[in-house]
Structure formats: C-alpha cells, structure tokens
C-alpha cells in the first residue's frame, strides 16, 4: 500500500491527510462476526456481516480472507457471486454503488487455520495471533478502522477475553455458550482478537475502568503479582500521550505467543509470565504491549512502511517506563542494546531508513531496524530536543492523531512545531537515511 508523502517542511501548511486517496474504493464501517470454534478439531465456522461505504464508484468488494473457505456471500438474503485467489475474496455487488452509498455483504465460511488462530486442545484453549483474515474476512491494512461485534460460540466452562466491552453471554439451544463482545471505537482489523480457555481471572479497579488478568497455569495471587505494575504503566503512558486510557484493559497468558497488542487486550505467553514471577524486573514486554494501546492502536501507522511509528515507539516508551520505574541504568541498558544492534547492522551494510519503500518480506535485520533503530532514533531525538520540547512534541503528536492513521511526516511536523525549528537535517540522517553518528 502506497500513499504520497509530503515531507514535513517546517511551517508547512500542507498537512498530510491520512485519508486522502483511499485506494480500496470503500471504507468498512462495521463488522459483525459469529464464530463456532471447535478446539478439539482445530477448526472454525463463521459468519461475518461487513457494512461499508463506497468512497468511489464501486462494483466489487475486495477483502483479505487468508486461507478461509468462503461458502456463501449474500446481500439481503440474495446470493452474490464471489471468487477467492491469493488470500483475497472478491464479491460482486448486487448493483454498483456510487461514491457515498452504503451497502452490506454477509459472508459464511469455514477454515482450519495454520496460523492466525491457535488451538491448544490439551489446555482447551483457542486464541488469535494477529492475522485476523484467518478467522474473519476483513482488511489487513492498518489504515482501515471499523467497529466490531464479536460472538464466540464455545463449550461451557470457558472464559473469554476479547477486544472491546463484554456483553452478556447467552446459552445456545445446543448447550454451548455464546460469548459476546463489542468494540465501539473503530480500530484496525489487525488489533482484533480474543483468547478463550478455562482461565483463572483476576480483576482490579483502575481509574474509571478495570484491569483484568487471565491465565491457566498461574494462581490468582501469582496473576496479581506479575501484572502488579499495569495500572502505573497505563498512568505513565497516558501522561506521556496526553490521553487518558479508555475502558478496561485485559492481559492474558496463552500457551505460546510473541507479545501481542490488541484493542484493550494484550496476549503474552505462559513462559513469559513465569519469567516475570521469577524476576520482577522483567516487565518490559508488559510495558511494550501496554504502550501500544496508544502508539500502534490509537495512533496507527497508515501503512506497514511506517511500522516504526508503532514498534520503535512501543520500544522507546518501554525504556522510558523502565527509566521511570527502575532508574536511569535500566533506560541506558536498553539504549546501549539498540545502539549495539544498529552498529552491527551498519557493519554488515544492513542499516536502512526507518521509512521503508515496502514491508512485504521483512528480514530479521529489517525488524531490528524498525524495532531497535526506531527506538534509538527517538532516544537521539530526545537528546537533540531536550526533555521539555521532546515530551511536549510527542504529546501533541499523539493527541492530534488519536484514532487516526499516521505517516512518518506527521511525526516530523509535530516535533518541528514543538521545537519551533526545522528538523530536516535530523530526519534526513536518522529517519529517511542511514546517517547519524553513533555513540
Ligand atoms: Zn510491538
């Protein structure tokens, strides 16, 4: 996905509109998805209603559908023609739409995902891992935001943690339970997800919401202990973002995963939970996923080429949290780690600009650029601008882009506005180039 970028010229009035030139020809407003989950067989059946607006004359709806098998597409009960190829579903609309017109399509499908949805039958557990199109036809691109109503049909005795707010669950005629969740704030599809198992569950009040912790292998006391800093982390990030945390925040330990941020929900592994219990200083991943609630979920890179605006930020904010909670040495240790990795990248000629031409097949080194160099560059910008200007700029950038998609130039513009001067030399070297002196 490409969009034209206006490089942030100082005092430029050419604001980058993240919504300009919508390439899909439509904008999804809402998904309503019901999933029948068979944990023992590791498969699912689903139905998804997609409500969308045409943003240009539109005769087909094209969605990402992973390896799902679409059984039917309908509109108002009438069948629609559709095809699937290369992970995309193309539905022919009953009649072409003019720009501004609304329509909806109902999809029925099944699948046995190899990834994106993990089944752990021995634990009676199922949970998502980022690839939302492996369990509901949707848009993978991070600049598409929609609300979601999610119903999860499961055997009795399981607890679910999902995105948004829990609605009352209901018993189905066959004895299973339908767990219902509603995400009222439009969010990108890649932060949709859930976890279900016979979890232990601990909840604690925080601000106007609740903190929830879930795990199978940990006792309630252990859950409270290992997630003890969550409330303070959210407060710290809210202060840095200039935006209060909204709603409840849920964290679940699942069989195995990398850390995963979703809307109001983060998943980590049972192994990581054990590690934090053994050493309370190992809370970096908890902080990283919590930081994503602002940098990633609420302020989202418009395309994966700008992924450092999610990951470099989450890493940097983790270090800032460690500095706040554990002291300067903990911050400097992370900075040294980033700098060493960047030095190694440069030595092997693998350093890259933070803004990628595309993010189709990132290597391990490309990930290091986005995650580690990205964080390191924020640290260098902090040194360049000083505490007051840096944090004011970061706060203004975050507040101005809440609920929006951002490109790198949006960040440059915000920091230039805070600094009252051009930062073109800094950004040309560190962000758009591979310059900048280490050490
Ligand atoms: Zn991350």
Domain stops at, among 277, 293, 309: 293
Domain-embedded: residue 3: no
Domain-embedded: residue 195: no
**Distance from residue 390's CA to the centre of ligand 1 (Å):** 22
**Distance from residue 292's CA to the centre of ligand 1 (Å):** 7
Segment 367-380 shows an average pLDDT of 98
CA 297/CA 242 separation, integer angstroms? 15
CB 82 within 8 A of CB 91: yes
Residue 83 φ/ψ region, left for φ over 0, alpha for ψ in the -120 to 50 degree band, beta for the rest:
beta
- For residue 2, pLDDT beyond 50: no
Segment 245-265 shows an average pLDDT of 96
- Residues 212 and 319 occupy one common structural domain: no
Domain hosting residue 261, numbered range: 200-293
Q: What CATH number is attached to the domain comprising 68?
A: 2.60.40.1730
- Give the H or E element holding residue 411: helix 408-419
Domain stops at, among 231, 264, 293: 293
32, β-bridge pairs = 49, 149
- Residues 369 and 320 occupy one common structural domain: yes
In tens, the pLDDT along 145-187 reads 999 999 999 999 999 999 999 999 999 999 999 999 999 999 9
Domain-embedded: residue 394: yes
Domain-embedded: residue 209: yes
- pLDDT for the residue numbered 21: 41
What's CA 427's distance to the chain center, in Å?
25
Domain-embedded: residue 17: no
- pLDDT for the residue numbered 16: 36
- Residues 271 and 329 occupy one common structural domain: no
Q: What is the CA radius of gyration of the chain?
A: 22
Domain-embedded: residue 192: no
- Residues 219 and 70 occupy one common structural domain: no
- Residues 392 and 261 occupy one common structural domain: no
Q: How confident is the model at residue 8 (pLDDT cuts 50, 70, 90)?
A: very low
CB 358 within 8 A of CB 305: yes
- Residues 288 and 312 occupy one common structural domain: no
CB 154 within 8 A of CB 37: yes
Domain-embedded: residue 379: yes
- Residues 31 and 172 occupy one common structural domain: yes
**Distance from residue 271's CA to the centre of ligand 1 (Å):** 18
- Residues 174 and 67 occupy one common structural domain: yes
**Distance from residue 288's CA to the centre of ligand 1 (Å):** 6
**Distance from residue 367's CA to the centre of ligand 1 (Å):** 11
**Distance from residue 194's CA to the centre of ligand 1 (Å):** 17
Q: What CATH number is attached to the domain comprising 306?
A: 1.10.390.10
Structure tokens at 116: 């994106």
Average per-residue pLDDT for the chain: 94
Considering Cα of 133, then 137, then 138, then 139, what sign does the dihedral take?
positive
Q: How confident is the model at residue 7 (pLDDT cuts 50, 70, 90)?
A: very low
Q: How confident is the model at residue 10 (pLDDT cuts 50, 70, 90)?
A: very low
- pLDDT for the residue numbered 439: 81
CA 90/CA 329 separation, integer angstroms? 53
- For residue 347, pLDDT beyond 50: yes
In tens, the pLDDT along 287-311 reads 999 999 999 999 999 999 999 999 9
- Residues 171 and 30 occupy one common structural domain: yes
**Distance from residue 321's CA to the centre of ligand 1 (Å):** 15
CA 128/CA 212 separation, integer angstroms? 18
- For residue 19, pLDDT beyond 80: no
- pLDDT for the residue numbered 352: 98
- Residues 109 and 231 occupy one common structural domain: no
In tens, the pLDDT along 326-342 reads 999 999 999 999 999 99
Domain stops at, among 293, 322, 355: 293
In tens, the pLDDT along 224-234 reads 999 999 999 99
CB 46 within 8 A of CB 108: yes
Q: How confident is the model at residue 3 (pLDDT cuts 50, 70, 90)?
A: very low
Structure tokens at 393: 């700029």
Structure tokens at 20: 């300009």
CA 152/CA 217 separation, integer angstroms? 23
- The count of structural domains within the chain is 3
Q: How confident is the model at residue 403 (pLDDT cuts 50, 70, 90)?
A: very high
**Distance from residue 392's CA to the centre of ligand 1 (Å):** 23
**Distance from residue 355's CA to the centre of ligand 1 (Å):** 17
- For residue 107, pLDDT beyond 90: yes
Domain-embedded: residue 334: yes
- Residues 347 and 256 occupy one common structural domain: no
Structure tokens at 201: 């569950």
CA 412/CA 416 separation, integer angstroms? 6
Instruction: Name the percent of the chain lying above pLDDT 70.
Output: 95
- Residues 368 and 408 occupy one common structural domain: yes
- pLDDT for the residue numbered 23: 79
């Amino acid at each position: 996905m490409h969009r034209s970028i206006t490089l942030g010229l100082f005092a430029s009035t050419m604001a980058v509109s993240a919504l300009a030139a919508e390439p899909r020809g439509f904008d999804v407003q809402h998904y309503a998805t019901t999933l029948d989950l068979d944990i023992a067989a590791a498969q699912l059946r689903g139905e998804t209603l997609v409500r969308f607006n045409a943003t240009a004359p539109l005769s087909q709806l094209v969605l990402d559908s992973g390896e799902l098998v679409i059984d039917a597409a309908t509109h108002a009960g009438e069948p629609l023609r559709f095809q699937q190829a290369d992970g995309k579903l193309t539905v022919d609309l009953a009649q072409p739409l003019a720009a501004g017109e609304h329509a909806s399509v109902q999809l029925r499908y099944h699948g046995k995902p190899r990834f994106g949805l993990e089944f752990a039958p021995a634990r009676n557990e199922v949970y998502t891992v980022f690839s939302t199109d492996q369990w509901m036809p949707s848009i993978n691109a991070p600049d598409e935001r929609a609300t979601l109503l999610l119903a999860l049909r499961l055997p009795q005795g399981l607890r679910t943690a999902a995105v948004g707010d829990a609605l009352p669950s209901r018993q189905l005629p066959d004895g299973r339970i339908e767990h219902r969740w509603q995400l009222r704030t439009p969010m990108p599809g890649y932060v949709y997800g859930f976890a279900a198992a016979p979890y232990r569950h601990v909840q604690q009040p925080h601000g106007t919401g609740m903190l929830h912790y879930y795990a199978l292998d940990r006792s309630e006391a252990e859950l409270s202990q290992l997630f003890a800093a969550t409330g303070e982390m959210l407060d710290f990030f809210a202060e840095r973002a200039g935006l209060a945390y909204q709603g409840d925040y849920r964290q679940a330990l699942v069989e195995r995963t990398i850390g995963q941020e979703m809307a109001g929900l983060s998943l980590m592994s049972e192994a990581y939970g054990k590690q934090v219990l053994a050493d309370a200083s190992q809370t970096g991943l908890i902080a990283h996923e919590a930081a994503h609630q602002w940098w990633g979920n609420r302020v989202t890179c418009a395309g994966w080429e700008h992924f450092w605006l999610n990951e470099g930020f989450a890493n940097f904010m983790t270090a800032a949290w460690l500095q706040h909670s554990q002291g300067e040495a903990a911050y400097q240790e992370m900075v040294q780690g980033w700098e060493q990795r960047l030095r190694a990248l440069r030595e092997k000629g693998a350093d890259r600009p933070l803004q990628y031409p595309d993010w189709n097949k990132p290597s391990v080194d490309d990930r290091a650029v986005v995650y580690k160099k990205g964080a390191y560059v924020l640290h260098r910008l902090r040194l360049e601008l000083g505490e007051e200007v840096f944090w004011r700029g970061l706060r203004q950038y975050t507040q101005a882009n809440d609920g929006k998609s951002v490109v790198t130039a949006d960040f440059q513009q915000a920091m230039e506005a805070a600094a009252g001067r051009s930062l073109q030399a800094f950004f040309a070297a560190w962000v758009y180039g591979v310059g900048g002196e280490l050490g």
